């Protein structure tokens, strides 16, 4: 009788370990698929505009909704939408939203621009290579501004080429 209990206990433990292994493998596979779909975005990091600030590490944005905006200081629609992005960042922070602006620009121009027009959300420097990253995220035209919304799982849920507006961003947030 005791032998049978030990046998069934061993089977239960083996099944539990197999299930945990399967789950871990499945999760890793899903993350790899998401990373491929987002052009390796979650493995990247970007310099901060001001020297001495820590790098912007994309992995730190995982697990919460993210509004990612590609912009340039030389781009009029980019500059026009920044106040709406800033209002969105402030009003949706309590709901877990993060906003990240990646500048497709040179560092000096970004620093000068942010001195004149500071924002409360995080800014990173993607450089001119950022245009290629926007293409990998679905921006076939390669133009700016380009905005992508991710859910907390890291999946792309909205994309827009061109200027966004606060009402539109709020609608995106409501759909998550």
Which tens digit of pLDDT belongs to each residue from 51-63? 889 999 999 999 9
pTM higher than 0.95: no
- Pairing between β-strand 45-46 and β-strand 56-57 as defined by DSSP bridges: antiparallel
Q: Domain 41-174 adopts which CATH fold?
A: Glutaredoxin (3.40.30)
Q: For 116-174, how does the pLDDT look when each residue is reduced to its tens digit (9 = 90+)?
A: 999 999 999 999 999 999 999 999 999 999 999 999 999 999 999 999 999 999 999 99
Contact 141, 161 (CB under 8 A): yes
Contact 135, 144 (CB under 8 A): no
Dist. CA 160–CA 151, nearest whole Å: 15
The pair of structure tokens assigned to 105 is 């620009």
Q: Is the dihedral of CA 77, 78, 83, 89 positive or negative?
A: positive
Contact 172, 157 (CB under 8 A): yes
pLDDT at 31: 45
Residue with tokens 């046998």: 7
Contact 139, 161 (CB under 8 A): yes
Q: Could you say which DSSP state residue 120 is in?
A: S
pLDDT at 39: 80
Dist. CA 23–CA 123, nearest whole Å: 35
């Amino acid at each position: 009788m005791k032998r049978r209990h030990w046998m069934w206990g061993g089977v239960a433990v083996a099944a539990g370990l197999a299930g945990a292994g399967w789950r871990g493998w499945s999760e890793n596979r899903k993350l790899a698929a998401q990373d491929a779909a987002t052009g390796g975005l979650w493995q990247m990091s970007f310099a901060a505009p001001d020297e001495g600030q820590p790098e912007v590490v994309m992995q730190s944005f995982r697990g919460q909704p993210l509004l990612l905006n590609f912009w340039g200081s030389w781009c009029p629609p980019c500059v026009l939408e920044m106040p709406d992005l800033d209002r969105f960042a402030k009003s949706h922070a309590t709901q877990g939203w993060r906003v990240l602006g990646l500048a497709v620009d040179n560092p000096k121009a970004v620093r000068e621009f942010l001195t004149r027009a500071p924002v409360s959300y995080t800014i990173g420097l993607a450089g001119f290579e950022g245009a290629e990253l926007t293409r990998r995220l679905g921006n076939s035209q390669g133009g700016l501004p380009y905005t992508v919304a991710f859910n907390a799982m890291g999946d792309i849920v909205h994309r827009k080429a061109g200027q966004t507006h606060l009402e539109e961003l709020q609608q995106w947030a409501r759909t998550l």
